[in-house]
């Protein structure tokens, strides 16, 4: 497998880092998030789901174009 050095790879890395930051902030600010009203919670969850969906679509594009699957790098499934 050739390691992809393309804009789509860099956008995958960028969205992955941003999602990790969002996840950290979500856990760190759990109590204030619970105090949000229903409408604000729906907006927050919608934005997170859109971000995760976009990140997943970038993964799909890299898997189709470059046969890039980051789980293969971990050799996780070969342990079983």
Q: What angle do CA 22, 26, 71 make, to 5 degrees?
A: 50
Residue 61 domain-assigned (yes or no): yes
**Residue 35 is assigned to a structural domain of this protein:** yes
Phi, psi of 39 (to 5 degrees): -65, -45
Residue 27 lies in a domain: yes
Q: What's the pTM?
A: 0.71
Contacts with 14 (C-beta within 8 Å, 6 or more apart), sequence order: none
Whether 37 is in a domain gets the answer: yes
Closest CA to 66 of 7, 14, 20, 19: 7
Tell me the residue range of the domain where 61 lies.
7-79
Q: What is the pLDDT of residues 5-63, one digit of tens each?
A: 777 788 888 999 999 999 999 999 999 999 999 999 999 999 999 999 999 898 888 88
Helix (H) or strand (E) segment spanning residue 46? helix 38-66
* Domain total in the chain: 1
State the pLDDT at residue 69. 75
């Amino acid at each position: 497998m050739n390691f992809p050095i393309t804009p789509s790879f860099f956008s995958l890395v960028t969205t992955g880092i941003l999602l990790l930051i969002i996840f950290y902030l979500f856990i760190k600010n759990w109590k204030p998030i619970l105090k949000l009203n229903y409408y604000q919670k729906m907006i927050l969850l919608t934005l997170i789901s859109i971000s995760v969906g976009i990140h997943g679509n970038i993964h799909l594009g890299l898997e189709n174009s470059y046969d890039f699957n980051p789980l293969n790098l971990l050799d996780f499934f070969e342990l079983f």
